[in-house]
Amino acid sequence: MSDLDSTTPRVFLVRHGETEWTKNGRYTGTTDLPLTPYGIEQVAGTAALLVGPHKLVDVARVSSIWVSPRKRAQQTFKCLFDSEDPNVGISIDDEKVTITEDIAEWDYGDYEGLLVGEIRQKRKDEGLDQEREWDIWRDGCEGGESARQVTERLDRVIEKVQDLQRPYMNGEKPVDAVLVAHGLVLRCFMKRWLKLPLDAELPMIFSPGAISILGYKNHDVNQPAFFMGMALPAQK
């Protein structure tokens, strides 16, 4: 028996498309930026290839969707699912959709809109980090969230997802889940899914408009895992 197959529930992580601050690397937390025109194209391209009947994300198999309240995530959701085709379309007010701050981007507080280099210089000017450089995974953000606060809210979502999927580990009912959110918080989510602390060393790259996949080994809810690679469903 394979560790993971099409009957094992999955969790799809969707990063929103490009914004103006995504392009230049500025930390974007609470600032409510829209997608750029190219960002919309990114998500539309992902949707065309991967979302729909017999595709990677088949809405017939999706039982729950969590969406960040930020405009860029809402736009991404609509680009992915807002279709007149009932086999593809899911509206934002569908009962299976939950809009929640629990998957909003890390609140960067005083570091909102800054580049990494600017944040590190700001902290050194304040007398911080004399022996080691600032690391958001460990140090959090002044005036914003700590790693502990982000962990607590993501763990709430993981508990809800796993409670929904636990009874159906062998395909008794399709219960795939989708999270539409942000680059850093979704990487945090992956660490917590794997039961790792946020400051655990796990370098990750997550492109705007991309989809990552989580699941379980051996159909066991106590063995959360991530897909290193997944064959796409055969087209019918």
Sequence ranges of the binding site for substrate: 28-29, 72, 105-108
| Helices first, then strands: H and E counts in the chain | 7, 6
Q: Determine the 3-state secondary structure of 158 from DSSP.
A: helix
The C-alpha atoms of residue 221 and residue 131 are separated, in whole angstroms, by 41
Give the H or E element holding residue 37.
helix 37-50
The string of pLDDT tens digits covering residues 106-155 is 999 999 999 999 999 999 999 999 889 999 999 999 999 999 999 999 99
The C-alpha atoms of residue 131 and residue 83 are separated, in whole angstroms, by 53
* pLDDT at 236 exceeding the cut of 90: no
Q: In this predicted structure, what is the pLDDT of residue 50? A: 93
The share of the chain scoring above pLDDT 90, in percent, equals: 85
Average pLDDT in the chain: 93
Confidence of residue 85 (pLDDT cuts 50, 70, 90): confident
Sequence ranges of the binding site: 28-29, 72, 105-108
Pairing of strands 224-226, 211-216: antiparallel
> Angle at CA 163, nearest 5°, toward 161 and 164?
65
* pLDDT at 76 exceeding the cut of 90: yes
Amino acid at 90: I
User: Known catalytic residues?
Assistant: 16, 105
Q: In this predicted structure, what is the pLDDT of residue 6? A: 63
The string of pLDDT tens digits covering residues 179-220 is 999 999 999 999 999 999 999 999 999 999 999 999 999 999
Residue 224's DSSP bridge partners are 216
**Domains by residue range for the chain, with CATH:** 11-226 (3.40.50.1240)
**Least-confidence region, from 3-12, 66-75, 93-102, 138-147:** 3-12
The C-alpha atoms of residue 161 and residue 155 are separated, in whole angstroms, by 10
CB under 8 A, 24+ apart: contacts of 132-141? 135/199, 136/106, 136/184, 137/198, 137/199, 137/200, 138/198, 138/199, 141/106, 141/107, 141/108, 141/109, 141/110, 141/111
First to last CA, the chain: 25
pTM flag (> 0.75) = yes
CB atoms near residue 50 (< 10 Å):
18
